[in-house]
């Protein structure tokens, strides 16, 4: 069983997203550790990229700060290796196909397996092109996590049937960022997913409050939050770990 499944075995999963190296890798490590201690079920780690097309201004800013600070893919791998000394919950990378290509797909995915990364999410990889990476992921036991968006429509069942790890359900059209309300008919999307797979699904994009997280987890198996956490890190800088821990605890409490 891929370790990701364990994130969904004890009730609803809370999944925080953290950009690696914003403002520095030591702060990222502290935030990951406190998020795990505060009840996060799984952590998404963003590998900084110069052109993160799925991201809104908040996460774009985090990417820029990390890259300006000299963060590289190799340094992110070293960070995960260090975190795995004591962080036992599943961790996945969220990055872009170009990052994997430029590093070398075989080398990137085999290193993921070596350091203890359980899956990868590539928001710019169309379902129809996943065979570029799928055989290598399968070979190394790294889940290639599928995204299903409101525009997926007649492809939802097809994507769901082949999904592994968990399914990332995109709540809204557009880029990441906090939203005051989410108006997509997510229940009908999740219904189609459930009819086609037992793979758990979590909803992300636009969730920032405990109330929103609880509502999304009521529809799906978990909630994913990125921009709201990145805002805390942007505001608090190297002192972000404490406030991030408090925020994660408020969200995990809301999902209980």
Q: In what order do the strands lie in the sheet with 222-225?
A: 143-145, 119-121, 91-94, 43-46, 13-19, 222-225, 201-204, 167-170, 147-148
Peptide bond into 97 cis (omega under 30): no
Is 7 within a domain? no
Other C-beta atoms closer than 10 Å to the C-beta of 92 total: 26
- Classify residue 129: in a domain, yes or no: yes
Distance CA 128, CA 87 (A): 34
Instruction: Give the pLDDT confidence score for residue 179 in this predicted structure.
Output: 42
Distance between CA atoms of 17 and 56, rounded to whole angstroms? 14
Chain segment 162-201, per-residue pLDDT in tens: 999 999 999 876 544 444 455 568 999 999 999 999 999 9
pLDDT, one tens digit per residue, over 54-98 is: 677 889 999 999 999 999 999 999 999 999 999 999 999 999 999
pTM equals 0.94
Contacts of 219 (CB under 8 A, 6+ apart): 186, 187, 190, 203
pLDDT at residue 256, rounded to an integer: 87
Mean pLDDT, the chain, whole residue set: 92
Q: Determine, yes or no, domain membership for 183.
A: yes
**Cα-based torsion angle of the residue sequence 54, 151, 173, 198 in order, rounded to the nearest 10 degrees:** -80
Examine residue 128 and state whether it is found in any structural domain, yes or no: yes
* Domain containing residue 92: 12-250
Q: How many domains does the chain contain in total?
A: 1
CA-angle at 84, arms to 79 and 87, nearest 5°: 110
Within a domain: residue 255?
A: no
CATH number at residue 139: 3.20.20.70
Is 122:133 a contact under the CB 8 Å cutoff? Answer: yes
30 in a structural domain: yes
The alpha-helical segments, DSSP class H, found in 38-164 are 57-68, 73-83, 97-103, 105-115, 134-140, 156-161
Is 80:45 a contact under the CB 8 Å cutoff? yes
């Amino acid at each position: 069983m891929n370790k990701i499944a364990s994130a969904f075995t004890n009730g609803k999963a809370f999944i925080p997203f953290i950009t690696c190296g914003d403002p520095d890798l030591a702060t990222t490590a502290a935030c990951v550790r406190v998020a795990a201690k505060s009840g996060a079920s799984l952590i998404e780690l963003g590998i900084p990229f110069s052109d993160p097309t799925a991201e809104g201004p908040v996460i774009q800013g985090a990417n820029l700060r990390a890259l300006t600070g000299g963060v590289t893919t190799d340094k992110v791998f070293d960070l995960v290796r260090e975190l795995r000394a004591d962080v036992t919950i599943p961790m996945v990378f969220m990055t872009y196909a170009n990052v994997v290509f430029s590093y070398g797909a075989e080398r990137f995915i085999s290193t993921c397996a070596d350091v203890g990364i359980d899956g990868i999410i590539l928001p710019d990889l169309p379902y129809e092109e996943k065979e570029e990476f799928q055989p290598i992921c399968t070979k190394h036991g790294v889940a290639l996590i599928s995204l299903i968006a409101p525009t997926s429509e007649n492809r939802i069942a097809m994507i769901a049937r082949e999904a592994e790890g968990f399914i990332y359900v995109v709540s809204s059209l557009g880029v990441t960022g906090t939203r005051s309300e989410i108006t997509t008919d997510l229940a009908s999307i999740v219904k189609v997913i459930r009819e086609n797979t037992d793979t758990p699904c979590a909803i992300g994009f636009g969730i920032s409050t405990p109330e929103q997280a609880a509502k999304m987890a009521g529809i799906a198996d978990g909630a994913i939050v990125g921009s709201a956490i990145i805002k805390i890190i942007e505001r608090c800088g190297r002192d972000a770990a404490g406030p991030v821990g408090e925020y994660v605890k408020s969200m995990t409490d809301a999902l209980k």
